[in-house]
């Protein structure tokens, strides 16, 4: 099972290494990792997705808690949270295929952010599944390159994540 | 004030009176400040020694051990000692010099990324970039090292930082900024009540106690609980001394080389009360077969240890020092008579009688290593501070030197570092100047840090190194004998120094004993001397450590004695 951990950390040099290193040492492979400042400049949020394999994720969250710079950890329940990923995809588009691509873009409420003679860059946000579905539909046109940000997630309702 | 002086002032404020260290380019300003300071500095012969001395000092005293090293090779030489302290949860602050700030990251002379290298083996670390943060960081470092589950903290300080002028007011204690650090000390009352219930109901309970009891200074509390509720106690290697080993309820050490009775008791127990332990594989053997009939209460300060290796029924996260008395108070409320457990304590007594840790003397007068340890124990009346090296010597010491007090048995448990015992003994001697400090050593291990003889001599620290000299890397040889067709690959040290001459070369005393009849006399002479001494005890070369449960094995695989 995949877990999305939302980890508040002190915004200090080396904290990312401490956190990432801990996952590696304890035998957890990080699927995706997003780090950025929060509303407070002194605090960063790391959103980490990991696959739970031999050991329960609790093993690593307990170890994470022991890092002095870690302030708070939430193991987000998928149904109780909103999650998003951002995708940038550069896809081949000639006169013939262009309108078909634009149709797909329309359906997924994605956005064309750059146009040139042979390619389009499309921006799209959504859940991991939606992003993957979108990518799959564009693949036949010829993907030059694509970038995904990895997942961010926020718990629903009044309570902060 | 120069930042270097501020560092020393801040250390003094933390109660530091002794530093173990070795100078170099990046710490010259720090050593310059030491020149006129009243802090005692012990100049070692290798930084690993400084780290282990700080470790031994901390374990013997309960205070934070402090060591200094210069940047690059000085700091990397500390790495083993830091890892050792980390594995055994020893409070230690290691202050390392670093190249100047503008040279960091440029592969500068004697630059090593020390905070990076030590990341997996520290409780926390700092690279100090701003001299005004020094006092706060040092305060935080000591706080982190010594509270919660103790551990080593590295403070890496660029040399130019130490040369700056900063303001210092000894009356102003800098505020700590540790929003993410809140060790849980109290223990949940509901859990404590639940534990009391199961303890009261248990028929065959066992207390499995470890180093956490000693770091929590909770030995008295543990003893009261055990004695009140008549529960036999077994301790781990690092827990030795947390419960008096000459007490009727003591079963000695458990695990791979533990006593048969401790292992039998665990395997038949219906309730294991684990205190300050981490269910290490050297203790549990095959996990599924460890205490197969038992429920588990686990008291530990570190929530990450709960259900890490063994899923426990009643976890209590808290400081043993407060949890154990709270638990005892709950038990007293239940007002049960524990007499009905007599059958169990009698069973333990029977096991003790039928399966003692016996030593068979050699017929030809060879010294048995076990008997040598027993002799040391007799002569010192079990009151010495005993350090050990790693290998057979360590296990024989653990089995046959019965300890009465906490902080009197100091051994590298988690990392198993050969070369630890001797510098640790020097550190312990600094902490306990009036105690008799004995390092029960192996010939191989001692050679890893024997240069610290110079340190012991220089500072008049009369540590006694008793080498159980089998001229083998004995523990590895034992495994080769038992499991690898006696292929003694690279475990026979064909060339050894003359340990007597070696000791004398450093200005220490050297003794050699070859016949068991001479042992007592030589030990008495050496122990009575006020100088450091090395006693080269030639023991039966191929003696083995038994009992032994092979790695990953169960009680049914226990080999009780020499085949
Ligand atoms: C630094 C280090 N290197 C290697 C080992 C592996 N090792 C464990 S016990 C041992 C033999 C120790 O020999 P000695 O000190 O003579 O002790 P003995 O077992 O003979 O009593 C070795 C090599 C270790 N524990 N530590
Ligand atoms: Mg040996």
* Domains annotated on chain A, with CATH: 2-76 (3.30.70.260), 81-154 (3.30.70.1150)
Is the bond into A136 cis (omega within 30 degrees of 0)? no
Task: Give residue B563's pLDDT.
Answer: 59
Mean confidence (pLDDT) of chain A = 95
B304 interfaces chain A, CB cutoff of 8 Å: yes
* Angle at B423 (CA atoms; ends B419, B425), nearest 5 degrees: 115
**CB contact set of A102 (below 8 Å; sequence gap of 6+):** A112
> Which residues of A are less than 8 Å from B113 in CB distance?
none
User: Ligand 1 center to residue B496 CA distance, Å?
Assistant: 15
CB-CB neighbours of B16 under 10 Å: 19
What mean pLDDT is predicted for residues B320-327? 98
Is the pLDDT at B277 greater than 90? The verdict is yes
Task: For residue B308, report the distance from its CA to the centre of ligand 1, in Å.
Answer: 28
pTM: 0.96
Q: Is the Cβ of A69 closer than 8 Å to some Cβ of chain B?
A: yes
Kindly report, residue by residue over B382-402, the tens digit of the pLDDT: 999 999 999 999 999 999 999
Closest C-alpha to B122, from B131, B114, B133, B130: B114
Q: How high is the mean pLDDT of chain B?
A: 96
Ligand nearest to the CA of B413: 1
Would you call B104 exposed, middle or buried from its count of C-beta atoms within 10 A (0-12, 13-18, 19+)? Answer: middle
Q: What is the ipTM of this complex?
A: 0.90
- What's the pLDDT at B494? 83
**Is the pLDDT reported for residue B365 higher than 90?**
no
Flag whether residue A27 sits within 8 Å of chain B, measured between CB atoms. no
Q: Looking at residues A76-80, what average pLDDT do you find?
A: 93
**Nearest-Cα residue of chain B relative to residue A61:** B304
All structural domains of chain B, each given as residue ranges with its CATH number in brackets, are: 3-162 (3.40.50.970), 189-354 (3.40.50.1220), 369-545 (3.40.50.970)
Residue A79: pLDDT band (50, 70, 90) is: very high
Residues 103-122 of B with CB under 8 A from A: 115-116, 119-120
Quick one: pLDDT at residue B341? 87
For B285, left (φ over 0), alpha (ψ -120 to 50), or beta? left
């Amino acid at each position: 099972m995949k877990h999305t951990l939302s980890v508040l950390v002190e915004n200090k040099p080396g904290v990312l290494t401490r956190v990432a290193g801990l996952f590696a040492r304890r035998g957890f492979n990080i699927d995706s990792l997003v780090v950025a400042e929060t509303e407070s400049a002194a605090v960063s949020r790391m959103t980490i997705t990991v696959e739970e394999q031999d050991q329960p994720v609790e093993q690593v969250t307990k170890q994470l808690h022991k890092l002095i710079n870690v302030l708070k950890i939430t193991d987000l329940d998928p149904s109780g949270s909103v999650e998003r990923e951002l995708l940038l995809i550069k896809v081949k588009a000639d006169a013939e295929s262009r309108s078909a691509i634009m149709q797909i873009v329309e359906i997924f409420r994605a956005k064309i952010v750059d146009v040139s003679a042979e390619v389009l860059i499309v921006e799209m946000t959504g859940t991991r599944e939606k992003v993957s579905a979108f990518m799959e539909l564009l693949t036949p046109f010829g993907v030059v390159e694509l970038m995904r940000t990895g997942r961010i997630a926020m718990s629903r309702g009044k309570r902060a994540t | 004030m120069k930042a270097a002086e501020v560092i020393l002032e801040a250390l003094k404020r933390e109660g530091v009176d002794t530093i173990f260290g070795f100078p170099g380019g990046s710490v010259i300003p720090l050593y310059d400040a030491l020149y006129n300071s009243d802090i005692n500095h012990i100049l070692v012969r290798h930084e690993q020694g400084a780290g282990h001395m700080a470790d031994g000092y901390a374990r013997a005293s309960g205070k934070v051990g402090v060591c200094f090293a210069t940047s690059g090779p000085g700091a990397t030489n500390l790495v083993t000692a830091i890892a050792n302290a980390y594995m055994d949860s020893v409070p230690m602050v290691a202050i390392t010099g670093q190249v100047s700030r503008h040279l960091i990251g440029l592969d500068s002379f004697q630059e090593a990324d020390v905070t990076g290298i030590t990341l997996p083996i520290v409780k926390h670390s700092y690279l100090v970039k701003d001299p005004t943060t020094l006092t706060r960081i040092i305060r935080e470092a000591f706080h982190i090292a010594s509270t919660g589950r103790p551990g080593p903290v590295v403070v890496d300080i660029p040399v130019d930082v130490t040369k700056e002028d900063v303001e210092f007011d000894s009356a102003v204690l800098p505020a700590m900024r540790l929003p993410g650090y809140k060790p849980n000390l109290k223990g949940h009352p509901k859990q404590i009540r639940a534990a009391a219930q199961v303890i009261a109901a248990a028929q065959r309970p066992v207390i499995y106690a470890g180093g956490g009891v000693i770091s929590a200074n909770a030995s008295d509390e543990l003893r009261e609980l055990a004695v009140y509720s008549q529960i036999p106690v077994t301790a781990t290697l690092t827990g030795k001394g947390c419960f008096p080993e000459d007490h009727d309820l003591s079963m000695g050490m458990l695990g791979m080389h533990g006593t048969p009775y401790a292992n039998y008791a665990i395997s038949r127990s219906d309730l294991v009360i684990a205190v300050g332990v981490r269910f290490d594989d050297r203790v549990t053997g095959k996990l599924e077969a460890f205490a197969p009939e038992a429920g588990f209460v686990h008291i530990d300060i570190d929530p990450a240890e709960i259900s890490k290796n063994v899923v426990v029924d009643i976890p209590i996260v808290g400081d043993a020092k407060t949890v154990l008395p709270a638990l005892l108070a709950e038990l007293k409320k239940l007002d049960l008579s524990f007499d009905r457990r007599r059958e169990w304590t009698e069973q333990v007594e029977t096991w003790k009688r039928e399966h003692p840790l016996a030593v068979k003397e050699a017929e030809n007068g060879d010294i048995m290593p076990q008997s040598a340890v027993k002799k040391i124990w007799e002569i010192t009346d079990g009151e010495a501070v005993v350090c050990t090296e790693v290998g057979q010597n360590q296990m024989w010491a653990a089995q046959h030197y019965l300890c009465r007090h906490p902080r009197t048995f100091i051994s590298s448990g988690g990392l198993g570092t050969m070369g630890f015992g001797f510098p640790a003994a020097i550190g312990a001697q600094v902490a306990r100047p009036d105690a008799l400090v004995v390092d029960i050593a192996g010939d191989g291990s001692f050679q890893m840090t024997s240069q610290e003889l110079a340190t012991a001599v220089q500072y008049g620290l009369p540590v006694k190194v008793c080498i159980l000299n089998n001229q083998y890397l004995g523990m590895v040889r034992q495994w080769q004998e038992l499991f690898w067709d006696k292929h003694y690959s690279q475990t026979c040290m064909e060339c050894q120094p003359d340990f007597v001459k070696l000791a004398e070369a450093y200005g220490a005393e050297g003794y050699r004993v070859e016949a068991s009849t001479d042992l007592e006399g030589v030990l008495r002479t050496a122990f009575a001397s006020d100088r450091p001494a090395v006693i080269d005890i030639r023991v039966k070369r191929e003696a083995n450590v038994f009992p032994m449960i092979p790695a990953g094995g169960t009680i049914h695989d226990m080999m009780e004695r020499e085949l």
